[in-house]
């Protein structure tokens, strides 16, 4: 049997509707059914998984929960195509195929003792949440320095993980800022695109800081440009890329950027690496 090509069976144990009606994002909590598979399934922040809807197809998704939650994992999914639509139509108790985990991970070991800045746009917060919850976990919190977050959404309707916000805000030595694209009634936080707010809202000058960003490609581009202009070392700017990863093994040929296979060498890359890669993503 080829253990990498056929999925384990998972059960959807909880479905959370994250956003309002305008951007349909749900978070699915999945628990592997077989005990042995569950014990062996060890993922790290930044990795991804291939989910199968039986009879429909398979698609890649980043982990949105911290591996410190051992019994299950969360995947946040925006309805965009065939597979995501089929997943959105599923109910608690339904079964789903799980292949993985695949890919590299955020350098959670190397960043110990450093200050961290998280810059997220929309559902780009999902893979960062895995690392955020890992770093802010009581067991780990004292191993990391100051944590700053700037979380961008189109509108208050499009926010996800609202239920996490108070935990994050109340975590020691942690500040969380929120921004939306346009002013709206009742909104007391920032307004504007995140790259315009970086210098104003965050303390970028603190030494020994590592930046993590994920969001729409255009946001990643503007943010990384802004950070570079502020003199940040590109090796300290880390993002996670998305391609049409299918096999997860670095073989099927869909997700390469130059010689790098996003499913195996990525999805986590730092800006220094990305500057050496062909611009084809």
Partner 1 sequence: MAVLKVLQKDELGKLLEELKREFQIVAPVIRKYGKKERVEYHQVEDFSEIHLNRQPDTPPKKYFLPQNERLGEEKSGEPVVEPGDRKTLIFGVRSCDLKAIDILKPVFLDDDFTDTFFQKRLENTVMFGLGCSERQDNCFCDSLGINPLEDENVPVYMYDDGEKIWFHVTDSELEKFFTDFPDGDPEELEKMKKVWQEEFEKSAIEIGVPIPFPELVAFNAPFWKEVAANCLGCGICTYYCPTCFCFGFFWEKREEEIDKWRTWDSCMFPLFTKHGSGHNPRETQEQRTRQRIMHKFSYHPNNFDGVPACSACGRCISHCPVNIDLRVILKTAEKYLKDEEGVKSSG
Binding site for partner 1 (CB under 8 A): 1-2, 4-9, 52, 54-59, 80-84, 97, 217, 242-244, 246-247, 249-259, 264, 276, 278, 280-281
Where do the H-state alpha helices sit in 24-154? 35-40, 82-88, 125-136
- Please choose, from the candidates 216, 239, 237, the residue with its C-alpha nearest in 3D space to the C-alpha of residue 227: 237
* CB of residue 253 to partner 1, shortest distance in Å: 3
* CB of residue 9 to partner 1, shortest distance in Å: 7
* CB of residue 221 to partner 1, shortest distance in Å: 14
Given the complex with partner 1, which of 5 and 184 has the nearer CB atom? 5
What would you report as the CA-atom Rg of the chain, rounded to the nearest whole angstrom? 18
Cα separation, 152 vs 181, in Å, equals 8
Given the complex with partner 1, which of 15 and 249 has the nearer CB atom? 249
Helix axes 217-229, 194-201, angle to 10 degrees: 30
Given the complex with partner 1, which of 139 and 259 has the nearer CB atom? 259
Cα separation, 169 vs 164, in Å, equals 9
* CB of residue 64 to partner 1, shortest distance in Å: 17
CB-based contacts of 17, cutoff 8 Å, min separation 6: 26
Given the complex with partner 1, which of 117 and 262 has the nearer CB atom? 262
């Amino acid at each position: 049997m080829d253990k990498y090509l056929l999925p384990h069976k998972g059960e959807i144990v909880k479905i959370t509707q994250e956003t309002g009606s305008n951007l349909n994002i749900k978070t699915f909590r999945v628990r592997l059914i077989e005990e042995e598979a569950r014990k062996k399934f060890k993922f790290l922040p930044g990795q991804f998984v291939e989910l199968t809807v039986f009879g429909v197809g398979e698609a890649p998704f980043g982990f949105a929960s911290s591996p410190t939650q051992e019994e299950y994992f969360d995947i946040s999914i925006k309805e965009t195509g065939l597979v995501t639509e089929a997943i959105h139509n599923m109910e608690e108790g339904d079964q789903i195929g799980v292949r993985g985990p695949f890919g590299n991970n955020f350098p959670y070991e190397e960043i110990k003792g450093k200050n961290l800045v998280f810059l997220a746009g929309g559902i780009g917060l999902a893979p960062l949440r895995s690392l955020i919850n890992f770093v802010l976990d009581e067991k780990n919190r004292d191993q990391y320095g100051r944590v700053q977050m700037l979380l961008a959404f189109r509108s208050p309707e499009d926010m996800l993980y609202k239920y996490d916000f108070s935990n994050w805000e109340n975590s020691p030595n942690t500040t969380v800022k929120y921004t939306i694209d346009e002013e709206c009634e009742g909104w007391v936080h920032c307004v504007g695109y995140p790259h315009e707010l970086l210098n104003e809202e965050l303390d970028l000058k603190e030494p020994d800081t590592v930046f993590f960003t994920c969001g729409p490609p255009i946001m990643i581009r503007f943010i990384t440009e802004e950070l570079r202009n502020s003199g940040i070392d590109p090796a300290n700017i880390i993002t996670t890329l998305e391609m049409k990863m299918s096999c997860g093994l670095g073989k099927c040929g869909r997700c390469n950027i130059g010689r790098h296979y996003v499913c195996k060498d990525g999805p986590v890359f730092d800006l220094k690496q990305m500057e050496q890669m062909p611009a084809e993503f």
